[in-house]
Chains A and B, each alone.
Chain A
């Protein structure tokens, strides 16, 4: 394949190439640092963020293929990202072939799904690539027809010259186009001219999914592939002491049982190299069931790890972190958190003189909120295929961040990156969990050791008890009111195991003269990781519940109070670095107020709660309507208002919001992972309660603020405020405030108590 000289457009490097056998290939490499259009600093972004890529391929027989660059885990980027290309390319969407791009660190650069960033980060480069390709096809046609390019038009994958009546498919000009230089400064379409973007398109993999085609990592097969599982310790703070595999090895289909170290001592871990257990007890066999059975025959002795040390690398240099060895229990953790909450904490932001304001306040409201560890529970359990030899490595499976895992793998296997081929399958859920690629490394080491292609599979129990959870959180909110019930100071002091959730520059920072945010954290051997809207998923529960209670104390409507604060933040902001656009924040509140008929008497049969939040560059507000059904609180209706700028694929976007709402209700009511002596007390769905069909609302009405702003993400932003809205509606329903997630047990007690008292 020959390549033309790369051309730098505004934000991307485009390369045009001949395809073997003719045709045009446009590849692009984007340097995102130069392209962040959003004025809001994205503080949820991971740091090692380099470049992103994708491809358009057009063959002479007119197959237009768009490779989706980003991993797909249900957020529908397989559809939405190619839609962006197709729009500027002016391709016929119905005829475009879409494939998942491979990961190639040398040619393509790291790819990443997370932080609700796929659409936001790819918006410009995908449009520029599509527009450049279209322009080159037009140029090729113009030259062929000896017509000026200004007279050439395109529509639905065809090039036209109206004057002469000539036309041709993109394919017929693809080979000629590939010899042209990449055009500079091609004009992108006006938003008003969008045809593909903003029109709902069906999931491009829908048919494969509903007919059971192999798509997921667990479905991947390879000649001679063996199955491996890891017997991990029964508790955090435990490790392998010794094992006797004699019986297991006698079981049918079993090939090997061995111990494998994941990281060597002193291995410098990057931010996404998190792993819970380092000494792996591996069982390898022919089939999944045989390996599962053999595991039951293992005789294993475990022992406490004691305090251990991890070596962390990263931007701040190398440092050693002590991981405490204690076997933790949830009740004791809560007591410890309560003690920490009383100690001085790290100041994260301070405006004005909050201490004096609180001292002089006529009325102080103080409330403390807690939330448990949560497991991601992706329905497809953790798995990865590996075939590693001395020369090269092939890895196939579900992974959110191949670009972060690959350098670690290269280091551990001592292979250069161009000898490592990581292919990404569709993921049966991700929610942050699959950004942590320890399981890929594990699979690779197992393959290397047994010298065979192997798929590592975690059972549901292995998956749920492994760690990398949403942290356990606590936060105390305080508000000071003067004698006229004006808000004069606001204080949040948040903590967590092992980290706190506080975003100090978020609302209501900027809206209150005297403001203080503080954080504290308690180290733990229970590992944590990103979980759908990290930190925000707790803040929006606690803060938005507190604002509801505050509004009540101030004698204000909860939406009105938020709007007043946002007005203040806009007109006369307090402090610097306020992390939100007050107008857009207010916009979703106003929209949800209107669409939900907030305050209308016909809605009085519902117990209503409202909450809003800004995170991951998008704005969300929900009104949740609770009724009591079979003596249980039931969220019957939800009204959602979102502002994520231009909505690429409206119906799929609604689906995403509906899902986030259901996920939020489920976790607010039931989500909980507790521990006793280091062992998880829930290890499968019989004890870890997930929301089910009958508990999903009858109606979720999703509304988008209509504007022409560059699009931002949607996977995470609608999720966090659901918790707050549910808590606030539950208060209206049961006349009791809820401070500790999950809410259901306490709500049922309250409902029963009230029944008894009548």
Chain B
């Protein structure tokens, strides 16, 4: 039995400990916001937070998450109001939308660590996140906007 906290909810899972967190989320728990894109940690569509760090859930065994806290896109904010989500809407980033949860989850860790990231900081933090539709410029714009919103909130 493996116990994992996902989006503040505890799950007791009777499951092969080798199972990637991605497939536990999608097939077992039914949280499908985390996407399968490559299965080999190359595309970033499956990024979630494990104890606050961005990990690629397609190569993260569920055993590694035992007793830990996992946050997925569904749990990023309670009212869909994380600055990144608001900025993503404002900039109207998405095209097909498939990669965007992974992009946002990777960006969320960056924004927590770096209140005012430069273009280069964003490039480095999100280099592992492919957007097949090519919305990279808008993602960058949205991250800068979210950073500005976040700074304003802290000041205000």
Query: B92 to A203, Cβ gap below 8 A?
Result: yes
9 further A-B pairs in the complex, CB-CB below 8 A; given A213-B33, A460-B39, A655-B138: A74-B94, A76-B95, A205-B97, A215-B97, A289-B27, A684-B39, A685-B40, A693-B126, A699-B137
A422-440 CB mask vs B (1 if < 8 Å, else 0) is 0000111110000000000
B37 touching A212, Cβ below 8 Å = no
- B138 proximity list for chain A (CB < 8 A): 655, 658
Partner of B23, one of A287, A430, A652: A287
The residues of B that contact A460 with a CB separation of less than 8 Å are 37-40, 43
Given A429-B96, A694-B127, A659:B134 Cβ within 8 A: yes
Asked whether A693 and B136 contact (CB < 8 A) given A379-B99, A698-B119, the answer is: yes
B133 lies within 8 A of chain A by Cβ: yes
CA distance A692 to B97 in the complex (A): 16
Asked if A212 contacts B74 (CB within 8 A), the reply is yes
Interface status of B89 (Cβ within 8 A of chain A)? yes
Contacts known (A212-B33, A684-B42); A427 close to B27, Cβ less than 8 A:
no
- Is there an interface contact between A652 and B92, defined as CB atoms closer than 8 Å? yes
Near A by CB (< 8 A), chain B positions 43-87 give 43, 45, 72-74, 76, 80, 84-85
The 10 A-B pairs at the shortest CB distance, nearest first, are namely A212-B33, A662-B134, A428-B98, A74-B96, A696-B136, A212-B73, A209-B97, A74-B95, A659-B134, A694-B123
Q: Given the complex of chains A and B, what is the CA–CA distance between A604 and B47 in angstroms?
A: 41
Whether A252 contacts B31 in the complex (CB less than 8 A), given A379-B98, A426-B96, A659-B135, comes out as no
CB distance from B29 to the nearest CB of A (A): 12
Which of B26, B96, B132 has most A Cβ within 10 Å? Answer: B96
The answer to whether B101 touches A74, judged by C-beta atoms less than 8 angstroms apart, is no
Whether A660 lies near B134 (C-beta < 8 A) is yes
Contact across chains for B139 and A693 when beta carbons are under 8 A apart: yes
Q: Is B109 an interface residue (CB 8 A)?
A: no
Also in contact, A379 and B27, with CB within 8 A (given A207-B80, A210-B104, A655-B95): no
Residue of A nearest to B62 (CB): A289
Q: What is the distance, in angstroms, from B129's C-beta to the closest C-beta of chain A?
A: 7
Asked if B42 and A663 make an inter-chain contact with CB atoms under 8 angstroms apart, the answer reads: no
A-B contact pairs, 20 of them (CB 8 A): A74-B94, A206-B92, A206-B97, A209-B97, A210-B100, A211-B80, A211-B85, A216-B32, A287-B23, A379-B99, A379-B132, A380-B96, A427-B96, A430-B96, A460-B43, A655-B138, A690-B132, A692-B130, A694-B123, A696-B136
* Residues 100-123 of A at the B interface (beta carbon under 8 Å): none
Judge whether B92 and A202 touch: CB under 8 Å. yes
Which residues of A have CB within 8 Å of B135? 655, 658-659, 662
Task: Assess the B130–A211 pair: CB atoms within 8 A.
Answer: no
* Contact between B96 and A73, CB atoms less than 8 A apart: yes
B123 and A651 within 8 A (CB): no
Q: Would B34 and A212 count as touching, CB distance under 8 A?
A: yes
Q: Given A73-B96, A659-B135, A663-B133, A218 and B36 touching (CB < 8 A)?
A: yes
- The residue on A at minimum CB distance from B104 is A210
Q: Is B19 an interface residue (CB 8 A)?
A: yes
Instruction: Judge whether B42 and A685 touch: CB under 8 Å.
Output: yes
- What residue in chain A is nearest B123 (Cβ atoms)? A694
Which size class do B's interface residues fall under? 35 or more
Query: Does B13 reach chain A (CB closer than 8 Å)?
Result: no
Cβ-closest chain A residue relative to B45:
A379
Q: Does residue B2 face the partner (Cβ distance < 8 Å to A)? A: no
Report the interface size for chain A: residues with CB under 8 A from the other chain. 63
User: What B residues does A209 contact at CB under 8 A?
Assistant: 94, 97, 100-101
Which of B43, B72, B134 is the one whose CB lies under 8 Å from A685? B43
A521 interface contact, C-beta 8 A: no
Minimum CB–CB distance from A715 to chain B (whole Å) comes to 10
B16 within 8 A of partner (CB): yes
**A526-550 at interface with B (beta carbon < 8 Å):** none
CA distance A6 to B16 in the complex (A): 59
A693 touches B38 (CB 8 A): no
Q: B144 at the A/B interface (Cβ < 8 Å)?
A: no
A700-B89 in contact (CB<8A): no
Contacts from B to A (Cβ < 8 Å)? 16, 19-20, 23, 26-28, 30-40, 42-43, 45, 72-74, 76, 80, 84-85, 88-89, 92-101, 104, 119-120, 122-124, 126-140
Whether A133 is near chain B, meaning CB under 8 Å from some CB there, is no
With beta carbons under 8 angstroms apart, the residue of B20, B34, B96, B104 that contacts A379 is: B96
Give chain A residues whose Cβ lies under 8 Å from the Cβ of B20. 289
- Report A-chain residues with C-beta under 8 Å of the C-beta of B124: 694
Are B133 and A426 touching (Cβ within 8 A)? no
Q: How far is the CB of B63 from chain A (nearest CB, A)?
A: 13
B97, A428: Cβ atoms closer than 8 Å: yes
- In the bound complex, residues from chain A placing their C-beta under 8 Å from that of B43 are 379, 460, 685
Decide yes or no whether A381 CB sits under 8 A from chain B: yes
- Which chain A residue has the least Cβ–Cβ distance from B101? A212
Complex contact A428–B92 (CB within 8 A):
no
Closest A residue to B27 by CB, please name it.
A287
**CB of B37 to closest CB in A, whole Å:** 5
Most buried by A among B74, B95, B140: B95
- Give A341-387 interface residues, CB cut-off 8 Å to B: 377-381
A58 and B59 CA atoms in complex are apart in Å by 48
Give the docked Cα–Cα distance between A31 and B127 (Å). Answer: 47
Residues from chain A with a CB closer than 8 A to the CB of B45 are 379
Complex: A429 Cα to B74 Cα, angstroms: 22
CA distance A654 to B120 in the complex (A): 24
Alpha-carbon separation in the docked complex, A287 to B42 (Å) = 22
Would you call B35 and A380 a contact (CB within 8 A)?
yes
Q: Given contacts A209-B100, A460-B37, A651-B92, is CB(A700)–CB(B127) below 8 Å? A: no
Separation of A76 and B99 alpha carbons in the complex (Å): 16
Question: Contact: B134 with A428, CB < 8 Å?
Answer: no
Question: Does A186 belong to the interface (CB within 8 Å)?
Answer: no
Rounded to whole angstroms, the CA-CA distance of A287 and B27 in the bound complex is: 6
A295, chain B: closest CB distance, angstroms: 12
A685/B23 in contact, CB under 8 A = no
Q: Point out the residues of chain B lying under 8 angstroms from A516, CB to CB.
A: none
A450 close to B (CB within 8 Å): no
Closest to A665 in B: B134
* CB neighbours of A700 from chain B (8 A): 137
Q: How far is the CA of A660 from the CA of B131 in the complex (A)?
A: 12
B123–A693 CB distance below 8 A = yes
Residues of A contacting B98 in the complex (Cβ-Cβ under 8 angstroms)? 216, 378-380, 428-429
Residue A48 interfacial (CB < 8 Å): no
Q: How far is the CB of B134 from chain A (nearest CB, A)?
A: 3
Beta-carbon contacts under 8 Å, A671-716 to B: 684-686, 690-694, 696-700
Q: What's the Cα separation between A381 and B26 when bound, in Å?
A: 15
Q: Answer whether residue A260 sits at the interface, using C-beta atoms and an 8 A cutoff.
A: no
Q: Is A512 among interface residues, defined by CB-CB distance under 8 A?
A: no
The answer on a CB contact under 8 Å between A693 and B134 is no
Of chain A, the residue at the smallest CB distance from B122 is A693
Which residue of chain A lies nearest to B75 when distances are taken between CB atoms in the complex?
Answer: A212
Does residue A459 face the partner (Cβ distance < 8 Å to B)?
Answer: yes
Kindly list chain B residues whose C-beta atoms are within 8 Å of the C-beta of A211: 33, 73-74, 76, 80, 85
Q: Does A130 contact B (CB under 8 A)?
A: no
Given contacts A655-B92, A655-B138, contact A74 B133 (CB under 8 A): yes
Chain B residues within 8 Å of A305, by CB: none
Quote the shortest CB–CB distance from B77 to chain A (angstroms).
8
A212, A380, A663: which contacts B134 (Cβ < 8 A)?
A663
Partner of A459, one of B30, B39, B73: B39
A108 CB to nearest chain B CB (Å): 24
Please tell me if A167 contacts chain B, counting CB pairs below 8 Å: no
Bound-complex Cα distance A36 to B13 (A):
58
CB-nearest residue of chain A relative to B28? A287
Is A558 an interface residue when CB atoms closer than 8 A count as contact? no
With A207-B80, A288-B26, A696-B136 in contact, do A379 and B92 touch (Cβ < 8 Å)? no
Determine the residue in chain A with the shortest Cβ distance to B136. Answer: A696
Does A197 interact with chain B (Cβ within 8 Å)?
Answer: no
**Which residues on A sit within 8 Å (CB–CB) of B132?**
377-379, 429, 663, 690
* A216-B36 Cα distance, complex, nearest whole Å: 11
* Chain B residues closer than 8 Å to A200, beta-carbon distance: 92
